[in-house]
Amino acid sequence: MKEQAKTNWLESEEAERLREEAREKGLPESYQRMPQILKMHKSKRSIRTCSEDELLETLSNMGGNVTMVANHYEVSRTTIFNWLEKDDNLHMLEEIDESWNDVAEYQLNQKILSGNLEAIKFRLKTKAKKRGWFESTEHNITQVIKVQLESDGTEITTGPGEVDES
């Protein structure tokens, strides 16, 4: 039920209005694509008045993107990193990143289960390399290349379909 409400809000007139405001203000495209972040952006609070939990929640809601958090609080990225180090929360970035990886893997798995061919190919190329699923690049040499080795002066000439060592 909560997931459906979130989806409905993302498709709502309010979300579209927030996206339009973001475009007009010239905010980064990532803000425009994620209206839930735009909603947070409208209700800015000073970093000085936020609790540690609120800052970590903002960081989590923005996918661990320090630049977006810094923009949200109108401070530099350095300020966010200093705050994380000072309160011994730098490890939280890794935890947030891992939790977003879990979300992404779940979404990918849902696409795979629904038969999405691109998702299936992506999974196989990244997780099934031992089974022979990988991308390779074929190089076609169309011109003759001549190389002289510094060590002994040997010249090697190669081109389409031939190798010649002189």
Ordered by start, the domain boundaries in the chain are: 136-166
Most confident of 10-19, 88-97, 107-116, 155-164: 107-116
133 pLDDT tier (thresholds 50, 70, 90): confident
Tokens of 64: 């661990």
Q: pLDDT of 67-124, one tens digit each?
A: 888 888 888 899 888 888 887 888 888 888 888 888 889 989 999 999 999 999 999 9
Q: What is the pLDDT of residues 25-81, one digit of tens each?
A: 666 665 555 655 555 555 556 777 778 888 888 888 888 889 888 888 888 899 888
Q: Which residue has the higher pLDDT, 103 or 160?
A: 103
- For tokens 């190798």, name the residue: 163
Check residue 91 and give its pLDDT: 87
Distance (Å, rounded) from C-alpha 155 to C-alpha 39? 67
Task: Region of 12 please: left (phi>0), alpha (psi -120 to 50) or beta.
Answer: beta
Please give the pLDDT value at position 119.
Answer: 93
Which residue in 65, 24, 25, 57 sits closest to 40, CA to CA? 57
Q: What pTM does this model have?
A: 0.50
